[in-house]
Amino acid sequence: MLKIPKSIFDQMLDHAERDAPFECCGLLAGKDAQVTRAYKIANIVAMEGAELSNFDDARAAQLRLLPAEQRAAIAFVMDAREMSMALKEMRSNGTELLVVYHSHPRGPDHPSPTDIKVANDFTSTREVLNQPEPLYVIISMEERGRPTVKAYRIDRDRFIQEGLEVLVS
């Protein structure tokens, strides 16, 4: 079961609320399913010329037609430089990538088909970087003022909900 200190859990919720109506994204690091650090990563999907290769051709074409702010409300692409720096710091600190998280400002608290594709695409990169398989945490802001947070393991075309415990110290 994934264990997240309340202070880090609250940081994720704050990140999601602050970035709404856009999707936020980030990484959680730690050891043995115990989170010790959050890394907020910029969602660059709204930037002009943002790399959209994580998406299938139809979804990428649809995203390109939307104004930047609408793209960021329904998708995310992590800034590669910030992500790389976070992974480097994890290695230096002796921690590992435990979670990739993002928000669904208007959507449900489970992975979308795009989330599943991105997770599967990340598998090959993760294996090259010798990173463990992360869980995927989704923060749904669908019910205003009542966010829900769930963790998933994504395996090919399906997702399996995992336990998540918020540790109050």
Q: Are 103 and 111 in contact (CB under 8 A)?
A: no
Q: Say how many residues make up the chain.
A: 169
pLDDT at residue 132, as a whole number: 78
pLDDT at residue 53, as a whole number: 65
Secondary element (H or E) of residue 7: helix 6-19
For the chain, residues with pLDDT lower than 70 are 46-56, 72
pLDDT at residue 70, as a whole number: 76
Number of domains in the chain: 1
Q: Can you give the CATH number for the domain in which 123 is found?
A: 3.40.140.10
pLDDT at residue 114, as a whole number: 81
Tell the residue number behind the tokens 């859990």, with chain if given: 9
Tell the residue number behind the tokens 């010790």, with chain if given: 36
Domain span including residue 131: 2-167
pLDDT at residue 52, as a whole number: 67
pLDDT at residue 50, as a whole number: 65
